[in-house]
Amino acid sequence: MTSSVRFDPAGPLRGTYTPPPDKSISHRAALFAAMTDEPVTVENYLDSEDTRSTLDAVMALGAGIEHDPGGRVLVRGVGLHAPLEATGGLMNVGNAGTLMRLLPGWLAGQPGGVWTLDGDESIRRRPVDRVAEPLKQMGASVEAREGRFPPFTVRGANLTGIEYDLPVPSAQVKSCVLIAGMLASGATTVTEGSMSRDHTERMMRRARVPFVRDGLRITVAQVDELELDHVVVPGDPSSAAFIVAAAILVGGSRVVVEDVGLNWTRTGFYRIAERMRAVIVGELEEPGAELDGEPVGELDVASGPLEGTVVEPEEVPLAIDELTLVALLGAHAEGETVVRGAEELRLKESDRIEGVVDGLRALGADIEATPDGFTVRGDGSPLRGGTIDARGDHRMAMLGAVAGLASTEGVEVVGMDAAAVSYPRFEHELRALL
Ligand code: S3P
């Protein structure tokens, strides 16, 4: 069922806000816990549609999952070598791209096992050849619809390590190869073109997997087992970015964001917003605190006038899920905002270049698409408003909500329910700050 929700121009956002648990780290925590022989407690695991798909997937592989009243998830893993009784299954990843791309890394290393991964309509148009190719090179057999799309069948094998240069800047592909590398004989080296989120590397460190990073090259060796007993998930900087953008745009706002992950590979949006003159006070460059191997901290955000900026390709992976918000800030800023080198946005839960350009233009923005991004021009005045279709994409739904609060006439978001994929309490928490 598709829900339409109106977001009218509203008064300032004020107060203290704690973002939901990080989605990327929750997926990895569940997968690594399932690959561990001993039980692992995951504290602050994200409760959302995507991360439920990951718990379902590891249960289908034989892991036990228990939720305790304190919000912790206890995972009784099956070890690195998943039991083959669980083979032959069809695994439904729902809308979860991270699960679709990381899980095959583990499955590929199970000789004799065969699994087919499928998901919703959106996942079926997102390519898996990017993970199929390195897994084939490592010795697994894989099959995808038209060689490219889910359903995606993985036949496990005794893998051999490879040297792999990532053809696309993708933390998901890097992670898939590193996970397969933990099961492959010899060394597996992945080289990225520019830095992307490093949560998998940090999770490997927690699980005592020996690996070496040399600049953009990461080399991992085969391991017998993971050693993990407890993971604590920090707040999600991508989810928080929607609230922060609202605080930047709605006049008179002042919001303190607590316990948010400040891993540098995830905070590109905040640095771009600062460059646009947004007032964000916090330890963005060098967070002083860590929570279980991930930098965390506080950000103090206030509204104010913005100016345009240029986002260069190497910044894109560091802000990939927030670039639609850069477009929204750009529409309210004085001058031109350009995003380049972001063609990956076309392959997200929806084509986010088309979605943001059509969506914001319908609200009154002067914005145009380019093959690898967009250009938006503003004169510092707010958008008019109108209707925006989330196109089944959680981040487009949340973008529409923020656009509504900052507009002069309000925005009707068609398909607001999509937000539950990553942030079920988004609307509630946004309105609570008003
Ligand atoms: C993610 C990586 C990014 C991001 C996605 C989550 C991850 O995708 O867009 O929401 O958890 O590794 P790509 O690595 O494909 O860019």
pLDDT in tens, 346-372: 999 999 999 999 999 999 999 999 999
Residue 84 has pLDDT above 80, yes or no: no
| Arithmetic mean of pLDDT, 388-408 | 98
Residue 205 has pLDDT above 80, yes or no: yes
> 10 Å Cβ neighbour count for 231?
26
Q: Which atom of ligand 1 is nearest to the CA of 130?
A: 15
Ligand 1 contact, 26 CB (< 6 A): no
Ligand 1 contact, 24 CB (< 6 A): yes
Ligand 1 contact, 51 CB (< 6 A): no
- For residue 388, what pLDDT is reported? 98
Ligand 1 contact, 171 CB (< 6 A): yes
Q: pLDDT tens, 296-305?
A: 999 999 999 9
Q: Which atom of ligand 1 is nearest to the CA of 173?
A: 14
| Arithmetic mean of pLDDT, 407-426 | 98
Residue 192 has pLDDT above 90, yes or no: yes
Residue of 46, 48, 177, 197 to mutate, ligand 1, most atoms within 8 A of C-beta = 197
- Widest distance between CA atoms in the chain: 62
Residues in the chain: 434
Ligand 1 contact, 98 CB (< 6 A): yes
Residue 82 has pLDDT above 80, yes or no: no
- For residue 154, what pLDDT is reported? 97
Mean pLDDT of the chain: 97
* 372 in active site: no
Ligand 1 contact, 344 CB (< 6 A): yes
The alpha carbon of 98 and the centre of ligand 1 are apart by a number of angstroms equal to 6
The alpha carbon of 172 and the centre of ligand 1 are apart by a number of angstroms equal to 5
Q: Which atom of ligand 1 is nearest to the CA of 24?
A: 11
Q: How confident is the model at residue 70 (pLDDT cuts 50, 70, 90)?
A: confident
Residue 285 has pLDDT above 90, yes or no: no
Q: Which of these is catalytic: 120, 321, 393, 417?
A: 321
- For residue 266, what pLDDT is reported? 98
